[in-house]
Amino acid sequence: MTATTAPAAPTGGLRWVLADSVTLTGRSLAHWARNPGQLIMSLAFNVLMVLMFGFLFGGAMVVPGGGSYREFLMPGMFAMTMVFGISMTTTAVATDMERGVTDRFRTMPMSPGAALIGRAVADLLFAVVTLVVMMLVGLAVGWRVHGSFGQLLAAMGLILLLRFALIWVGIYLGLVMKGQEAITGVQTLEFPLGFLSSAFVAPATMPGWLGAIAEWNPLSSTVTATRALFGNPGWGGDSWIVQHAGLMAVIWPVALTLVFLPLAVGRYRSLSG
């Protein structure tokens, strides 16, 4: 089915946008409820990563300044699961494109932005579920929160803010990429993005130039800031980016959103056949 421009839709302002967005969010949730395999596999893979790094490799890891490696690891794993969500978003958007669902949406009398908003909200809700599950797994393997309840909520907020920004990265990639090979490429790139950060090891243990890249990885700012909020062991870097991790854990996701949200919207509007 080929679409160029959507037909005129009834105007209803914000209420119209919200109603259509809720409908399309419900569509995504219903799809997951009917086909939960991908979500279950995603959660199982994240749990496997915790067990692998916490128990297989953890004995060889030394936290700078001392402390439990599993407590050092878990904030990194929380952020890493948000990175793994990029491919899930990309796959969902690309699948809708391939099956003609996106074209069908664009020909219907609905809010033009509802398809993107619905996708973003659904993925963010799944990110909340993922984070809660991972925190329970962390408690089971010895991770503990030593900060206040307010600091716990602030840390969760920073992690979900990162995921919100990465959702728009995934939506944009899903709109521009075609074929399973492109999606596999996105999945492959998630690992170097996560490993080249402070999620698993301290950048101080890396060669100088590589450590500097890891420190400036947006993921590292979120990980460093949440470790401090949780009261978990950190690595005590003294560079500007590390000392201002809390600020950068907000600036990085906001910057990514400001770049990729307009790109995604522009790409969606320019779609044809």
> Domain locations in the chain?
13-269
Among 56-60, 76-80, 215-219, 232-236, which stretch is predicted with the lowest mean pLDDT? 56-60
Q: Compute the average pLDDT of residues 166-189.
A: 86
Output phi, psi for 120, to 5 deg: -65, -45
Number of C-beta neighbours around residue 80 at 10 A: 26
Number of C-beta neighbours around residue 168 at 10 A: 25
Among 47-51, 75-79, 191-195, which stretch is predicted with the lowest mean pLDDT? 191-195
More confident residue, 9 or 83: 83
Q: Is 137 left (phi over 0), alpha (psi -120 to 50) or beta?
A: alpha
How confident is the model at residue 184, as a pLDDT?
83
Please, what is the average pLDDT of the chain? Answer: 87
Distance of CA 83 to the CA centre of its chain: 4
How confident is the model at residue 217, as a pLDDT?
95
How confident is the model at residue 6, as a pLDDT?
44
Residue reference for tokens 């969760």: 156
**How far is Cα 109 from Cα 8, in angstroms, rounded to an integer?**
6
* pTM reported for the whole predicted model: 0.89
List of residues 6+ apart from 246 with CB closer than 8 A: 225, 228
Closest of 85, 83, 80, 82 to residue 198, by C-alpha: 80
Q: What is the pLDDT of residues 212-243, one digit of tens each?
A: 999 999 999 999 999 999 999 987 778 999 99
